[in-house]
């Protein structure tokens, strides 16, 4: 049974990488949407926990690749088992991808990179965490009056930015 699922996943990924889908943007969208729909069906039908965890991770990858960053973030954080760290890394990539469009001020938008760095660290991706942190607020942007937490409304979390500089 596991082989059939792996073969199916390989086929799904292959559909998104065909030469037609690389030249026809409409085809890419249709194939990825179809793949996500099929993955949802497989996730629902799968009873073996390890296979379900793998399928949920594959769903987060497809969402990330298709630019569905909020969905990829949520799905990535829902990954468990062997895929938990990889899913958390997908969430970090999603936060970083939307960092410049989430927040009212430049400082708030840069704070998204601190959150992305925190997620990357949880995922064991120290080099990505360092990269994201370098894109965030700089040391001089925190003085005594700015040490309050920053609410990141896009993600529904609060970060203590100055503690991470």
Is the confidence at residue 164, as pLDDT, over 90? no
Give the residue, 124 or 47, on which the prediction is more confident: 124
In the predicted model, what is the mean pLDDT of residues 113-125?
97
Domain count across the chain: 1
Q: Is the pLDDT of residue 2 over 70?
A: no
What is the total residue count of the chain?
Answer: 165
Q: Using alpha carbons only, give the angle 141, 94, 117 rounded to the nearest 5 degrees.
A: 40
User: Distance between CA 2 and CA 109 in Å, rounded?
Assistant: 43
pLDDT of residue 29: 47
Helix or strand holding residue 158 (H, E): strand 157-159
Q: Higher model confidence: residue 56 or residue 23? A: 56
Distance CA 71, CA 59 (A): 9
Q: Considering the chain, what percentage of its residues have pLDDT values greater than 90?
A: 57
- For residue 109, what are the contacts with CB-CB under 8 A and spacing of at least 6? 99, 100, 101, 102, 103
Domain span at residue 146?
2-164
Query: What's the DSSP call for residue 2?
Result: H
- Rounded Cα distance, 117 and 122, in Å: 9
Partners of 152 in the β-ladder: 157
């Amino acid at each position: 049974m596991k082989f059939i699922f792996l073969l199916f996943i390989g086929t799904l990924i292959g559909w998104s990488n065909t030469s037609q889908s690389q030249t026809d943007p409409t085809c890419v969208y249709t194939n990825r949407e179809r793949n996500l729909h099929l993955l949802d069906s497989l996730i629902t039908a799968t009873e073996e926990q390890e296979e379900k965890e793998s399928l949920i991770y594959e769903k987060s990858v497809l969402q990330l690749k298709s630019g569905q960053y909020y969905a990829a973030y949520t799905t990535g954080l829902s990954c468990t088992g062997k895929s938990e760290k990889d899913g958390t890394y997908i969430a970090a990539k999603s936060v970083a991808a939307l960092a410049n469009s989430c927040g009212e001020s430049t400082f708030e938008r840069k704070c998204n990179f601190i959150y992305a760095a925190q997620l990357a660290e949880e995922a064991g991706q120290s080099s990505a965490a360092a990269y994201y942190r370098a894109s965030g607020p700089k040391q001089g942007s925190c003085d005594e009056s700015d040490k309050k937490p920053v609410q990141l409304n896009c993600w529904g979390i609060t970060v203590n930015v100055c503690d991470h500089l």
